[in-house]
Amino acid sequence: MSKQTRTKIIVQGQGIVLEQRQSLVLGIETSCDETAASIIARYEDKNGNIEAKILSNIVRSQIDEHAPFGGVVPELAARAHVVHLDIIIAKALKEAKLDFNDIDAIGATAGPGLIGGVLVGLTTAKALCAALDKPLIAINHLEAHALTARLTDNVQFPYLMLLVSGGHTQYIEVNNIGDYKLLGTTIDDALGEAFDKTAKMLGLAYPGGPEIEKSAKKGDANRFKFPKPLLHEKRLDFSFSGLKTAVRLAAQKIAPLSEQDKNDICASFQKTVVDILCARTKDALEAFKQTHNDKPLQLVIAGGVAANKAIALGLKQVAADANASLIVPPISLCTDNGAMVAWAAAERYALGVQNDFDFAARSRWPLNDESMKI
Ligand code: KG4
Ligand code: ZN
């Protein structure tokens, strides 16, 4: 490790006592359609108590660029990251009232994600680290989501995380930094993707999740009965492509669709999703309890779909029924951002982790991969 975190020293009587160690970490996120940079201060006192402060968290969403296409266009995303990333990093430094020399380490998402975007962020981080002689920390985007609850709520290991975003739908046992067990995942579409594709089919705007939630409020959730694939099986996996097809067939049957028809489809779709998530989460909590029966039961939600109020309400009930505490970070930290990357990097940096400049960007990088272990 090229540089250790700075240490504030206080003098107590005759002896010198380490009061706290502080590290300042820059985090860069470019794996999908947000160009983001953030600076985190992480403090650890002599008893191992950890505190964190978000000094800046700048996110530039590319929604306007992708909206006309009804989804993220990888080439456009990568180009927009190239154009904006340096400005976003400069803003993050300015807002934190710091310059590059103050930074102890730089973390960047190295995957999984759209490879063009990941390359932009990771290469930028490598260039900065080489020029400034700072340690590079390659961050797994999923780990960044997984550890956010420790930044916002100081959650202790282990906990169960449900990650529901445009790219992922997973249950992960978060046992420690670098120690993750995948309990279940989607075998086809991610949940956010299912929301986006269903919305597109109904002629709603992108991103589809918030649009479906809005329409669902005005609809009859019991008008359509949609399938709940895999729910009869014991495994903790999801499948959403059958649900999407069922929505398409139902819409075709009653076309042309009135506004009320669309609202009813949205409400029925959302209700089906809530039912699926609640049933699965109940089973996932049960599975988690089997292997951690001596530990408090904690459920953490992450990812953009967590913004959905009907889903949040359903999961709150499931957690209460299971006697589990539910932790949902603020939605601005549930969706993609630089603070979660800076935080994951700060956690790894504190353990002495540093990556070589030949660390490759990865479009796929499961959390339970050997390379995650510390
Ligand atoms: O985590 P995120 O910002 O980006 C990644 O995919 O990594 O998640 C974006 C996804 C989109 O698919 C969007 O439609 C969905 O989250 N989303 C929602 C809601 N708000 C955002 N889905 C359902 N209901 C919402 N209110
Ligand atoms: Zn994400």
pLDDT on residue 233: 86
From CA 12, how far away is CA 61, in angstroms rounded? 49
| Residue with CA closest to ligand 1 atom 2 | 304
Tell me, using a 6 A CB cutoff, whether residue 305 lines ligand 1.
yes
| Residue with CA closest to ligand 1 atom 10 | 166
Tell me, using a 6 A CB cutoff, whether residue 158 lines ligand 1.
no
- The amino acid occupying position 364 is R
Nearest to 337 by CA among 85, 25, 37, 19: 37
| Residue with CA closest to ligand 1 atom 14 | 209
Report the separation in Å between the CA atom of 17 and the middle of ligand 2, taken as the mean of its atom positions: 40
Query: Going from the N-terminus, what domains does the chain have, and what CATH number goes with each?
Result: 6-151+335-372 (3.30.420.40), 156-333 (3.30.420.40)
pLDDT on residue 8: 57
Two tokens, residue 328: 């949902």
Tell me, using a 6 A CB cutoff, whether residue 335 lines ligand 1.
yes
Report the separation in Å between the CA atom of 198 and the middle of ligand 1, taken as the mean of its atom positions: 13
Which ligand is nearest to the Cα of residue 140, counting in written order? 2
Which pTM was predicted?
Answer: 0.92
Tell me, using a 6 A CB cutoff, whether residue 304 lines ligand 1.
yes
Tell me, using a 6 A CB cutoff, whether residue 192 lines ligand 1.
yes
Which ligand 1 atom is nearest residue 206's CA? 14
Report the separation in Å between the CA atom of 134 and the middle of ligand 1, taken as the mean of its atom positions: 34
From CA 206, how far away is CA 195, in angstroms rounded? 10
pLDDT on residue 38: 98
pLDDT on residue 20: 72
pLDDT on residue 286: 96
Report the separation in Å between the CA atom of 240 and the middle of ligand 2, taken as the mean of its atom positions: 18
Report the separation in Å between the CA atom of 348 and the middle of ligand 2, taken as the mean of its atom positions: 19
What SS3 class is residue 249? Answer: helix
From CA 175, how far away is CA 95, in angstroms rounded? 34
How confident is the prediction along the chain (374 residues), in pLDDT tens digits per residue? 334 456 555 444 455 555 677 999 999 999 999 999 999 999 998 888 899 999 999 999 999 999 999 889 999 999 999 999 999 999 999 999 999 999 999 999 999 999 999 999 999 999 999 999 999 999 999 999 999 999 999 999 999 999 999 999 999 999 999 999 999 999 999 999 999 999 999 999 999 999 999 999 999 999 999 999 888 888 999 999 999 999 999 999 999 999 999 999 999 999 999 999 999 999 999 999 999 989 999 999 999 999 999 999 999 999 999 999 999 999 999 999 999 999 999 999 999 999 999 999 999 999 989 999 99
pLDDT on residue 1: 38
Which ligand is nearest to the Cα of residue 305, counting in written order? 1
Two tokens, residue 173: 């046992």
Report the separation in Å between the CA atom of 106 and the middle of ligand 1, taken as the mean of its atom positions: 27
pLDDT on residue 3: 43
Count of residues in the chain: 374
Report the separation in Å between the CA atom of 192 and the middle of ligand 1, taken as the mean of its atom positions: 5
| Residue with CA closest to ligand 1 atom 6 | 166
∠ Cα 170 205 254 (to 5°): 95
